[in-house]
Amino acid sequence: MNLKPDSKVLIQGITEPLASIHVARMKAYGTNVVAGVSPGQGGQTVHDIPVFDLVEQALPTTGSIDTTIIFKPPYLALDAALEAIAANIRQIIIVTSGIPPLDMVYLLRIADAHKTLIVGPNSMGIIIPGKLLLGTHPAEFYTPGPVGLISRCGNLISEVALELTQAGFGQSMGVSIGSDAIVGSSFRQWLQTLNKDDNTKAIVLLGKTEGGNEETVVEYITEEINKPVVVYIAGRYAPEVKRPRHASDLIISQPAIEEEVSTAETKIGAFEKAKIPVAQRPSQIPDLLKKALKK
């Protein structure tokens, strides 16, 4: 994993309106954006960044690329990611949301075969405060410090970063793993990364009600992570959602066994049972961190 300030960054879909806004912010933050790719727009520049039609056309000018950030529309994101993998780019951040599930299943199989990190889709990317901005994080909410953030909740990571900053807790890294149903990198993977990071002294994990696998990392945290972890699960007061009945249940006129989908309460209960601190609201996270770091 190469997340150094001087690592080379490519933007696929650089002429998309959202990309143009955030490329300017990344560049102003010091991120080394060396080129953009947008088929049919080659030869242009966006914020003084050269634009190419294809990734392979950019490489002779830029040399090897460490990370690409994809802003392409959902139906074009798979092709963009496969093009990046073919160009030996091993870190891919997908900002795009709503990519077809089968496209993601196929992409993750190819990425695994090529040992490529996929962050997203529907991700705000990665920020190392004061050093590197890869994606759409509002950098003004972050400040360098010892707390690592991992989130599946979109903009919630920015809200928590601001809460921590105002409480005097800087951040070592902020990772938005993506909030679509199927995403690449996982909580476990980033917990492991932050556990090994010398600049990280504590970790905040931000989950949500719908889907996800927050409960599956409880045992991993208790057995493998030797740094304090604080958790917040969004959606504590969201209405419970139940699985629909199967057609066979309706045919035989039998009452269906309706299994409740994992809720905020079930996830919170799993962490509390393992004695992992859980915040009831984002503003409580700094206080829980203070207590955890004193132990």
Cis peptide before 100 (omega within 30 of 0): no
User: Between β-strands 125-128 and 171-176, what pairing exists: parallel, antiparallel or unpaired?
Assistant: antiparallel
Query: Is there a catalytic annotation at residue 246?
Result: yes
Task: Extract the runs of DSSP E, i.e. beta strands, from the chain.
Answer: 9-12, 33-37, 45-46, 49-52, 67-70, 91-94, 117-119, 125-128, 132-135, 144-151, 171-176, 202-208, 229-234, 278-279
Two structure tokens written together for 223: 């057995």
Residue pointed to by tokens 């990364």: 193
The C-alpha atoms of residue 144 and residue 118 are separated, in whole angstroms, by 25
Integer Cα distance of 175 and 123 in angstroms: 9
CA distance 90 to 107: 13
CB distance 84 to 66 below 8 Å? no
CA-derived radius of gyration, the chain? 20
| Cβ-proximal residues to 183 (8 Å cutoff; 6+ apart), any chain | 104, 118, 119, 120, 121, 122, 123, 152, 177
The single residue of 22, 47, 137, 246 carrying the catalytic annotation is: 246
Q: Is 52 helix (H, G, I), strand (E, B) or coil?
A: strand
Residues carrying an active site annotation? 246
